[in-house]
Amino acid sequence: MHELSIAMGIVEAAMDEAKQRNVQVSAVHLRLGALSGVAKDALLFSCEVACQDTPLEGSRLLIEEIPVTVFCPQCKENRVLESVQSFSCPECASPAGEVLQGKELEVYALEVEE
């Protein structure tokens, strides 16, 4: 399970940003792409462990799951895939082109207390 190392990276990033701004974090907003290779449940559990004995202990992790967006060369439009098992356009069924979104693993925002 690599979620624990990812969780430690999240905690480190959030603590660093909080320290720079001298704020107390109550929640971390994370954007998690369907192609990030990270499992949401394992990450939630790992983050609890990774937060222990840090200034982030007791804070919440809010995960926004980002579906895969591809460019459909046939429709010439961006399309959101229904599942990562099927890389074909949901409208015209032709093979999906370039992946535009869905690999995110990003600490997007911090909720802080004044």
Partner 1 sequence: MSEPRLIEVRRNVLKQNDVIARALREQFHDAGVFVVSLVSSPGSGKTAFLEKTLTQLQPRYRVAALVGDLATENDAVRLARSKAPVKQITTGTLRHLEAAMVQNALQDWDLHQLDFLFIENVGNLVCPSSYDLGENLRLVLMSVTEGEDKPQKYPTIFNSADVAVITKNELSDAVEFDWDAARKSIESVRPGMRIFRLSAKTGEGMTEYLDFLSRQLAEQRAVVHI
Q: Are 110 and 60 in contact (CB under 8 A)?
A: no
Name residue, tokens 């609890």.
48
Nearer to partner 1, 52 or 61 (CB): 61
C-beta of 51 vs 110, nearer to partner 1: 110
Would you count residue 113 as binding partner 1 (CB under 8 A)? yes
110 binds partner 1 (CB under 8 A): yes
Place of tokens 């909080």: 18
Q: Is 80 in the site for partner 1 (CB under 8 A)?
A: no
The nearer residue to partner 1, 24 or 53, going by C-beta atoms, is 24
Our finding on whether 58 is near partner 1 (CB under 8 A) is: no
Sequential DSSP letters for 3-18: HHHHHHHHHHHHHHHH
DSSP string, 24-68: EEEEEEEEEETTSS--HHHHHHHHHHHHTTSTTTT-EEEEEEE--
Q: What are phi and psi of 102, to 5 degrees?
A: 125, 0
Single residue of 13, 44, 63, 75 touching partner 1 by CB under 8 A: 13
Please give the residue ranges that form the binding site for partner 1 (CB under 8 A). 1-2, 5-6, 9-10, 13-14, 17, 21, 23, 26-27, 29-30, 35-39, 84-88, 95-96, 99, 105-114
